[in-house]
Structure formats: C-alpha cells, structure tokens
Structure 1
Amino acid sequence: MAPKGKNKKLKSLSHGRPPTAKPSRAISSKASRTLIRSHHALEKSKAQALAEGNAVLATSLQHQIDAQGGLERYQRASLQGQSHERGGDSSKILMEWLQPLVPALKNHAANDMSLRLLEIGALSVSNACSRSKLFDIERIDLKSQAEGIKQQDFMERPLPKDGSEQFDILSLSLVLNFVPDAAGKGKMLLRTLEFLKEPKYLEDHGEFLPALFLVLPASCVTNSRYMDEAKLEAIMESIGYVNTRKKLSNKLVYYLWRMASSVSRPATSFKKAEVRSGKDRNNFAIVLK
C-alpha cells in the first residue's frame, strides 16, 4: 500500500502488479472490472493530490482505497482478470510473432548466445517465453511476488553501461497504463530505448529486433479522448520505433515495435489534446515534450 504523504514513485508506477498465487475466492467478471476501474481512478486522483501538495485530500482518497479492500483486493481482481479464462499469458502472442526466428533462436541458445529479454512488470517465471527456453530472461516488478522476479522500479533501474547490459527485447505488458500521469508514460517509453541494443546488430533478425513488446487495454486506443492508433503510432515513430506486428482483441491490444533508431528526445512534441469527444471516453494519454 502506498504510504501517505509525498511519494516520488508516483511519477513512474503507482503500485505493484498482481501476485502470482491464485486467489482463494473468485469474484465475478463485472465486479472485478468495477473494482479495478475504481482503484485506478482513486490512485490517479491521489497522485494528483500529492503532486499539488494537498495532503488532506490524498489522505481522504487513501481511506476510500482502504475501504474497498486496498491493494490486496485490487491484486486479487487483477490476477483473476489475467487468468487463463480471461485472456491468459500475453507472451504467447509474442512467441507466435517470433516463430520465424525460432530456428535461429534455438541455435543461439545451443551455443549459449540466447537473446536477452527484460520483462518489466513480470507476473510469472513460467510464461510462454520462459517455457520456450530460448531467452536469457531478466524479470522485474515493483512488488515481486515470486522467486526469480527482482523487485525493482524500471524508472529507477540504472542505465546500461554498455551493450552487454542491454537487451534484444523489452516486454511492457499492461504496465504503461499503470503510470498515473501522461508525461510519465512518455518518459517510460523514451527510457525503453536506453535498454535496447543497437539496431545494426544481428542482421538476420533485423525485421523484428531489437524490439519492444507493448500490451495495453484495448480501450486505451479505441475509446480514449486523447489517444487513438494513429496518434500512438506517431508518438512511437517520433522516438525511433516502427510497428511490425499488431493484434487487437476485445480486451487488449498487442504491438511489436522494432527500434529503428535511438533518439535522445522526440522529434515532435505531443500534448494531451482531444482526438475524440464523448462523455463515455477514458482519459488515457501520452505526453512527450
């Protein structure tokens, strides 16, 4: 549970990810969605109150979070929402997309040259990527819930000193939407570039790698006031990414973005500007300055 008072981590991720252990009591699909939306809204309001120095309002909002079960109940609802029955392991999609590379990946693995994968916001050590045994995987999460997952905030992770500390693939599955403010989301996307290897390496994998695997709730691009697919693609291209694969389901949208070039700052600024009107829209946004 987030402490009361000012918290510098509010500019990155506002809380941990769901635990890997199965919850003992299931709640309905509708109830879990309602709880998750309410928790996100309260956390976002609390972050804004803290940023404005309004400790009284932040305390009141924390009481509301506690009253509905706090982080523990939210985690149970989130885990249930990501169970096999409701969507399952997102890394299965990544493995499907990388299928053309599997022969080469097996050869690399056999020669102790496995591609390096950084899984940000890791939930499990036994997902599809892990079971493939084709990658050298490092897993991090704000609140580690399993052995093999390092407790670390990606926004505070030391920058790589050289290529040996960089990765071929970064997985950012249902993480970006946890960042409480639009500017923080932009900073996170920019920071991913620092952790990917130079685009010129491994020419036989050039169509796919180095890459960012990005998964978001579908509503972030289909029902946001401030974001649609065209704007997301413009943002990603401005920082050096090219989209190579995309899949939209009822609940999630999956992308594989290849890093074509590494930039220190975006070529264009993107503000929190309305792209859709309507009272039932959500407020997902990414700001780049």
Structure 2
Amino acid sequence: MPKTRTKRPQPVTSTKGRSTTYDKRPVALPPIHIDGQQKVTIDTAALSAVKLGKLGKSSVDTRRRINHFHTLIKQYSKLETQKQNTSAADELDAIDSQIAQVSREMAEMGGLDWYQKASLLGQCKQRGGDTSRWLVPRLHELGLDKREKRLRLLEVGALSSRNYEKEHHWIDVVPIDLNSQEPGIYQLDFLDIKIGSAEQAEPSSTDDDDNDDDDEPDNGKAQLFGSPFEVISLSLVVNFIGDPGRRGDMLRQAAKLLTPDGLLFLVLPRSCVANSRYLDDERLLAIMECLGFAQLQSHHTAKLAHYLYRFNGPSESNESFKKKLLYSEGGRNNFSIVI
C-alpha cells in the first residue's frame, strides 16, 4: 500500500504590523475546559478600543501582572463551573455578571496575546532564559544526540520557534500553541491531538530528514499525527489551566502521545510544589507514577521546578488523586492536580 503523506498545517502569519487594538474576534484563552464545552473564549467585541496592556517595565512588574492574570483565569474557570451546575435564574444572572467583570479585566490587560508576549519577554536572557536550556543537557547526558534519526519533540505552549535552533541537526521540534506568536509555531490544541491508527494514518517513514512532513496533521482541524513523539515539553503550561482535573488531563494526554520509553519534560512555578496546600514533590511523584512515569531528574531554582520523566507504558493502577489537604498553615496557595 502506498504511503499516505500528510502535510503540516500552515503556521499563522506574522503579527508584524498588526494593530495593538482589539478587533471584534473573541480572544481565545488557554484550554480552560468545562464539562460539555471544548473551549472557553472571551468575547471582547465591546472592547474594540482597548489597547493591549504594557508588558511591564521590570521583571518584577511583569511577573506581578502575569500572576494576576493567572488568578483571573482561575476565577473565570470556577465561575464557568458554577454556571454549569446552577439552574436558578437569579444565581445565573449574578454569575454572568461576575464572568463579565473578570472577562473585561482580562481583556483590558491584553488577553492571552498580552500574556504570551509578557511570557516571551520573561524568556529572554536578561530575564532568565528559556527552560529548553535545562532540557538539552539532560538529553545529551542520555546520549539522544547520538541517534541516527532526529529526535521528535513536541513543544506545547511554544513562545518561540527558535528555542531548539542550535540543536536542529538532531532535534526535530514541532512547536504548538493555541495563540501562535510567530510564523513556525502551529496553532493547535494539545488536548485535541491524536495518534492515528493503522486505518487513519500510515506508519512513519524510516527515511531521514527528507520526509519531515510525515506524520504531521493534514490541516489545522485534523490534528492527527501518524506516530507518537519521543519527547514532550510541558513547560509552564499545566499551571496555566484553571481546573485541577484538566491539569491531570494534560498529563494523561502526554502519556497517550509518547513512544514507549519516551520523555516528558514538565516545568512548574516552584510555588506550585513548594508552597501549595495540596501539592508537593512527593505527591506529584505519586501522581506521575500512577500514570506510568518514572522520574529521572528534578531541579528547583528560586522560581521554577524542572522535572524529567520516562514513560514506562500505561500503568495498571486504578488509584485516583483527588484534591487533598496536605498543609494547613496560612500563606500557601491552592494549586493542585487531580486525576
């Protein structure tokens, strides 16, 4: 049977020269998934004259505003959940009013577009660099740069298509994001990606770099890959989802898209594991082991927690991890992951 060749979806066009005022299209948020609803968007039609928020004059100011945007995301997610579970008309009106208020504040800050640009600013060398610089040495240590065939790496929530530019000869990176910031980053939803079955897609080619388009989605809607990935990077994206259960779904999705013995690179703000009432390193390890992952390395900096896991195959464990209070003292945050 001849191979079915699929083509990579077209990257979004450059944003250079784009107006900094809102148009009438909804501003797409990160995947805040609600039961029965695939994606949540914020309608900013009434805010067409609102300018994008400033990125921040300093790293401290930028981080403060990013943290506030995270808080608004969580508030929005909670309100949408309440709305799904409420039938009383007066309560629905009150919830809708709160949703509109939160939506307006996020839009006035610049929405997801502002958030990504602020995060991209934080990725520059003057403000700490990007987390791929921690991952690449780990891949060297595992000898993955010596392979005959390039390593397939899916970078979720990519802010720049150049993060692995120096390693292009041995890393074949597919950068994706819901709101691409530059050409070369494909506008795809990580939770919608599937690995094709024998009926849906042919096995990947054994040829080398000449067939880089194999196994890519045939368009922006199909989001079907013919073969799994050898590395998946979830750097500072799991924490951006407001719902703890959907954070767990992202980790489950990574397990579905990885090859046997594939690697998962997970980065969280350090406060998510060092200052949470519901999560610490020990509980995160238990969650990952339940999903079939073995931790290879971890590294904490003042702001970030880096983890590298190997996927050992689907786990037979039926254990669930609900939201459980681990620390009751004041001053802690409420970050959690539920599976």
TM-score range relative to shorter protein: 0.7 to 0.9
Does the Cα contact within 8 Å between 1:26 and 1:80 map onto a contact in 2?
A: no
Within a 5 Å distance, the mapping from 1:241-260 to structure 2 comes to 241-260=293-312
Aligned to 1:286: 337
Aligned to 1:115: 151
Does the Cα contact within 8 Å between 1:247 and 1:254 map onto a contact in 2?
A: yes
Partner residue of 1:131 out of 140, 163, 166: 166
Aligned to 2:138: 97
Q: CA deviation at 1:13?
A: 8.3
Aligned to 1:41: 71
Distance (Å, rounded) in 2 between the aligned partners of 1:160 and 1:260 = 21
> What number of residue pairs does the alignment pair up?
263
Is 1:268 the counterpart of 2:330? The answer is no
Is 1:146 the counterpart of 2:186? The answer is no
Q: CA deviation at 1:70?
A: 3.7
Distance (Å, rounded) in 1 between the aligned partners of 2:108 and 2:141 = 50
Partner residue of 1:159 out of 177, 195, 206: 195
Does the Cα contact within 8 Å between 2:32 and 2:39 map onto a contact in 1?
A: yes
Instruction: For 2:66, give the aligned amino acid.
Output: I
Distance (Å, rounded) in 2 between the aligned partners of 1:33 and 1:136 = 31
Runs of 4+ in 1 over 4 A off after TM superposition: 1-4, 12-15, 23-26
Partner residue of 2:103 out of 43, 51, 62: 62
Range that drifts further, 133-142 or 66-75: 66-75
Is 1:31 the counterpart of 2:51? The answer is no
Q: CA deviation at 1:8?
A: 10
Larger radius of gyration: 2
Distance 1:101 1:9, change over 3 A: closer
Q: Percent identity?
A: 37
Distance (Å, rounded) in 1 between the aligned partners of 2:307 and 2:300 = 9
Distance 1:169 1:76, change over 3 A: closer
Aligned to 1:179: 241
Instruction: For 1:176, give the aligned amino acid.
Output: V
Partner residue of 2:126 out of 85, 95, 98: 85
For structure 1, the residue ranges without an aligned partner over 5 or more in a row are 16-22, 200-209
RMSD: 2.7
For structure 2, the residue ranges without an aligned partner over 5 or more in a row are 1-21, 42-52, 84-94, 205-226
Instruction: For 2:275, give the aligned amino acid.
Output: N
Distance 1:230 1:38, change over 3 A: same
Distance (Å, rounded) in 1 between the aligned partners of 2:62 and 2:187 = 26
Aligned to 2:223: none
Aligned to 2:260: 198
Does the Cα contact within 8 Å between 1:239 and 1:267 map onto a contact in 2?
A: no
Aligned to 1:10: 32
Q: Output one character per residue of 1:123-156: Cα deviation in whole Å (capped at 9) or x when no partner.
A: 11211x3311211221111111122111011011
Distance 1:60 1:171, change over 3 A: same
